[in-house]
A and B are shown apart, each in its own frame.
Chain A
Amino acid sequence: MSVVRLPGLITTDDRVSGPPSRWDYAADRTFRALAQTGVWLILILLGVILWEIGGKATAGIRDYGLGFLTSTTWDVGRQQFGILPHIWGTLYSSLLALAIGGFFGVVMAIFLTQDFLPPQLAQVFRTVVELLAAIPSVVYGLWGLFVVVPALRPVAGWLFETLGWIPLFGTTLSGPGLAPASLVLAIMILPTVAAISQDALRLVPYKVKEAAYGMGTTKWEAILKVMLPTAATGIFGALVLGFGRALGETMALAMLIGNSSQISLSLFAPANTLAALLALNFPEAGKREVEVLMYAALVLLAITLLVNMAGEAIMALSARKTKS
């Protein structure tokens, strides 16, 4: 809206709206160019990162090929490397953490936004939940080591004795392992998922909720059948971010996963993840090991890509189902 001055004609307010001025058009074009630059910067950033990692990884890829993905030895002395246990551990721990943290995060979000608590109290808890995202992962690692592992040990022992024939509980918990790591990871991503889901739910227009109640739904019917589907894309975004965080988490997992190159279905066995592998070995790695670690980093990015694509496919399928 440009300002057109008509002195003398209008006494109270000289501003009258008119067509955009030349300055407005110029500002418009600049802004759009800036926005496009922002998008290109993201693409360039990813490109540069891939180029950096890929550049260092090519030697590793050339020498180890696809066998890298299926071998289970990691022996620096004999220059034999394989990341199958790490891929397994990454997927197992992250998906488990996403299932637990994602579920509880969304439930928390519903709990805090759908009038289960007085509004001021809900706001306080919302802030507290967001704060938890600020706790450094080292602290989560320490908490896991000093609180979660001792607390889990008796439970794990009981499960092993009574249900040990189920592969999930096939070993005892000798200290760090998959279960403590996944639990702590779930706690770490819960604030992210909860905070973004809360926003998604609060952005659902009030009219939609009122319409549902007007039709006579119970509170939960309104939530499950109307609010959640409307907020679905936002909640899905929350899950994507949470999953990304779970995949890339290094410090806390390094302390809690047990770092053993075994593949086991048991929740209590030690395992290993790609991110922890990178964090623990990169500082001391020699040239050859760096190449191999960069190869592993590429694999991790590829996994993120694949799981995200799978998630989007699932969302698209369910959207099609609700539409039809």
Chain B
Amino acid sequence: MDFGLTAEHEMAQKMVRDFAQKEVAPSIREWDQKQEMAPEILPRMAELGILGICLPVRYGGQGMDFISLGLACEELEAVDSTLRVIMSVHVGLSALTLLQWGTDAQKEQFLIPLAKGEKIGCGAFTEPGMGSDVANIQTTAKKDGSDYVLNGEKMWISLASKADYALLTARTDFEPERPSDALSSFVIDLKSKGVTTGDIKGKLGVRAGSTGWISLQDVRVPSDSLVGEEGEGFKITMSGFDSGRYTVAAGATGLIRACLEASVAYANERKAFGRSIADHQLVQAKIAQMAQDYEIGKLLYFKAGWQKNAGERNTFETSMAKQFATNASFNAASEAIAVHGGYGYSDEYPVERYLRNSRGAMIYEGTNEIHSLIQAGYALGTRKDRPLRLEMPGYDANFWQSEQS
């Protein structure tokens, strides 16, 4: 079993790290305080190809594999979670969903600009009245001639006010045979008439980002906005989460590493009772836990990434990776604050931002609690993976890297 990363992986990881450390890290504290996203972030990530890192070249992407996506997320979140949130929604929830479920025409029209970063995508599932209970989505999409007319509200949508497109789930069947057949997925142009968006301020964390709401009032969209078939919305949303959650898992692993590095640096500088606090065992215990959790986080997301490369279903593994890493990053941040003492409680040091950022990831992309239920289902045998009509393709270097044949 080769646990090594290839030279390609390492160079890609270094490139994303250098970008995030040199261009974002120096001013991230200010943007976090302003509760705004620095305007150059999205264009720069687009320019560098990061927004299309794991999409095939023929669809405007950079042709790298799913492990590279994970590594990029690790490096981005090590600087700030908001950078990785961009990847989760733009790449995970929207671009990869189109790769898996989109028609050729939809790939041409939407996926290519997304992969090139010319357009920005987001995922719109959550509503003011529902989060975990996906089957209970209330936003409606009523067939009218050859169009659909959408009405409803989406809430807690990352990049709502910045995105051009949304991968959106709405109710199309009002008397379904089974509840899970009621929903359908759409790719919506957020500039359509009837769509308004706004930002949500006052969040505990991910403040240097963009989280908002989308309101749909009689939004008319053509029938080729439908992604997949009518009634497949629940399955498509869930499979989108397999991509999104993976990025969260990798990112949270990077956050653990950031907490570890901050704690090691501070512990080596600060003295108490005549020695560096790094010499005190209870401080050492915290650092050891962070180091261990970082390693575990990596192994879990590497495995999920490897499965994605192999074209294997990975809902269970991705769920474990996401739940583990997000919980561990919250603990790591809390302990990092402890290591920093009073200074950890102030924004002079980044660890308080790490804590505030980490808590959100335990809620979005499947709450902690939902993930426990998912995993229990697999472990008890009550949850089985059924084949999907369209599976996410495994990574094939030839297909991913060559231009249109």
Do chains A and B stick together as partners?
no
B residues near A, CB below 8 A?
A: none
